[in-house]
Amino acid sequence: MISKKTVSALTGLGSGLCNGLFGSGGGTVAVPCMEKLLKTQEHRAHATAIAVILPLSVLSGIIYFRGADIPVRETLFACAGGALGGFFGARLLGKIKGRSLHIIFGIFMLIGGVRMLF
């Protein structure tokens, strides 16, 4: 039997790998792993994924800024919009039922998957 610490570390590894490779996507790995493998409640899994993704994003962003041609102005506007959206999303998370959260998350995953194919 694999320990919870090992599963958590592997979940973090997968999330970090997706975040570093794709610029996002860590939550699409972290949330299902936490819910299914660690038996974490839906709201807690989503909130934890956000907390995990923040340092991953900061680290990936530093690496990208050092080695890539990133449009700083557009990036700053995207950060501002993302911060605002993150604030409202975090406030909204506590108001959504677990089943509804699964459905919304699944819909976004499907839309993202279909967009990646076409």
pLDDT digits (tens, 9 = 90+) for 41-77: 989 998 998 888 888 778 877 887 787 778 878 888 8
Report the b/e string of 10-34 with b at 16+ CB within 10 A. ebbebbbebbbeeeebbbbbbbbbb
Collapsing DSSP states into helix, strand and coil, what is residue 39? coil
Q: Which amino acid is at 23?
A: G
Give the pLDDT band (50/70/90) at residue 25: confident
pTM of this prediction exceeds 0.75: no
| Whether residue 19 has pLDDT greater than 80 | no
The confidence score (pLDDT) of residue 72 equals 79
- Among the listed residues 116, 117, 104, 118, the one whose alpha carbon sits nearest the alpha carbon of residue 22: 116
